[in-house]
């Protein structure tokens, strides 16, 4: 099977297998070899690496990853793509294709089995309908990771790397920046995909921090506070957090915590830094009433 990466070679595979694109799986295949080069280069893959690819499609990027890495594991949900991948990846002995839903897959076990629990690299042109759940699952489940190099919708990449006071700053920015350092690699116009999506894309690399940049007594509680603070974007943080109804956390507790930090009672979530959210959640932590 020839090397993939062009519009023509992709069209040939689609034709050979009478493949029908499934919109519900976010199938927009990359058909631009320059963008492929940039993704591979920025992922900094070496012969030591075990790479996880989420959604290999017909195997375009998988071929390139297999040439650089020690081992590639590609998880694809669409059963119809499995015979295609067997064909397009037949020349690579270091690739394993798994037919599964990435959101239901035990990635910690995979890393244990394939890489002795050492951090892996994730590289993917993500299905856009589940971008945020995939990123959050990788981080919140503490999958051992070195980096995540992904193609995402342009607006989502912007949200990941924005700071306080901008319209794109929110719970996703804070979660990503707690776990990793985000860097935009390149912008990608819709014309680089088959079929052409309605949105432009961006490749972004998230390099996992060994230790988060802020200290928190309870990570899950920090994110509960963040989520509640952004739940009602046009409301003040006091209202957002009070309305969340966390036991023991009423208006008075939130106001006291904010005053203690020297912040106005009218602040909105989007003006607080990650450090301030960590301090706020640490201050509120002692006031919580845990159920049971």
Kindly provide the residue ranges of all beta strands, DSSP E only, lying in the chain, ordered along the sequence.
29-30, 50-54, 71-76, 95-99, 120-125, 145-153, 180-188, 193-194, 201-208
19 binds ligand SAM (CB under 6 A): no
In order of 137, 187, 289, the CA distances from 140 in angstroms are 5, 27, 23
25 binds ligand SAM (CB under 6 A): yes
Interactions with ligand SAM, residue window 50-89 (CB under 6 A): 54-57, 60-61, 75-78
Please report, in angstroms and rounded to a whole number, the separation of the first and last CA atoms in the chain: 60
Kindly determine how many residues on this chain lie close enough to bind ligand SAM according to the rule CB under 6 A.
22
Q: Verify cis geometry, omega within 30 degrees of 0, for the bond prior to 104.
A: no
How would you label 206-226 residue by residue, b for 16+ Cβ within 10 Å and e otherwise? bebeeebebebeeeebbbbbb
Contact mark string toward ligand SAM, 157..176, x via CB under 6 A? --------------------
Specify the 3-state DSSP secondary structure of 50.
Answer: strand
- Nearest approach, Cβ of residue 122 and ligand SAM (Å): 12
Contact mark string toward ligand SAM, 193..212, x via CB under 6 A? --------------------
Among 102, 203, 206, 214, binds ligand SAM (CB under 6 A): 102
Distance, CA of 153 to CA of 130 (rounded, Å): 11
- Between residues 29 and 230, which has the closer beta carbon with respect to ligand SAM? 29
Q: Which stretch binds ligand SAM (CB under 6 A): 98-106, 152-160, 183-191, 203-211?
A: 98-106
Given a contact cutoff of 8 angstroms between Cβ atoms, the answer to whether 10 and 60 are in contact is yes
122 binds ligand SAM (CB under 6 A): no
Q: What is the CA radius of gyration of the chain?
A: 21
Q: Which stretch binds ligand SAM (CB under 6 A): 27-35, 158-166, 231-239, 280-288?
A: 27-35
270 binds ligand SAM (CB under 6 A): no
127 binds ligand SAM (CB under 6 A): yes
26 binds ligand SAM (CB under 6 A): yes
Interactions with ligand SAM, residue window 130-159 (CB under 6 A): 130
- Between residues 39 and 284, which has the closer beta carbon with respect to ligand SAM? 39
Given a contact cutoff of 8 angstroms between Cβ atoms, the answer to whether 76 and 56 are in contact is yes
Closest CA to 214 of 201, 223, 224, 205: 223
Interactions with ligand SAM, residue window 232-261 (CB under 6 A): none
Specify the 3-state DSSP secondary structure of 258.
Answer: helix
Nearest residue (beta carbon) to ligand SAM: 55
Contacting positions for ligand SAM (CB under 6 A) = 25-30, 54-57, 60-61, 75-78, 101-103, 125, 127, 130
């Amino acid at each position: 099977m020839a090397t993939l990466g062009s519009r023509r070679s992709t069209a040939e595979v689609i034709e050979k297998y009478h493949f029908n694109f499934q919109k519900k799986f976010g199938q927009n295949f990359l058909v631009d070899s320059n963008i492929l080069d940039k993704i591979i280069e920025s992922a900094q893959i070496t012969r030591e690496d075990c790479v996880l690819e989420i959604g290999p499609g017909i195997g375009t990027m998988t071929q390139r990853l297999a040439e650089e890495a020690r081992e590639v594991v590609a998880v694809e949900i669409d059963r119809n793509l499995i015979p295609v991948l067997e064909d397009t990846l037949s020349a690579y002995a270091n690739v394993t294709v798994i037919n599964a839903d990435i959101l239901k897959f035990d990635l910690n076990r995979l890393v244990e089995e394939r890489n002795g629990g050492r951090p892996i690299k994730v590289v993917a042109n993500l299905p856009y309908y589940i971008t945020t759940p995939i990123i959050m699952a990788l981080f919140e489940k503490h999958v051992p990771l070195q980096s995540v190099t992904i193609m995402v919708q342009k607006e989502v990449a912007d949200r990941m790397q924005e700071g306080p006071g901008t319209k794109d700053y929110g719970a996703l920015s804070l979660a990503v920046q707690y776990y990793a350092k985000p860097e935009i690699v390149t912008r990608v116009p819709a014309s680089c995909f088959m079929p052409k999506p309605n949105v432009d894309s961006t490749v972004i690399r998230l390099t996992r921090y060994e230790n988060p940049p802020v200290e928190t007594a309870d990570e899950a509680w920090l994110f509960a506070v963040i989520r509640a603070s952004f739940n009602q974007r046009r409301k003040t943080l006091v209202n957002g957090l009070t309305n969340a109804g966390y036991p023991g956390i009423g208006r008075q507790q939130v106001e006291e915590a904010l005053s203690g930090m020297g912040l106005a009672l009218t602040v909105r979530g989007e003006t607080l830094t990650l450090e301030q959210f960590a301090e706020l959640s640490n201050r509120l932590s002692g006031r919580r009433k845990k159920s049971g």
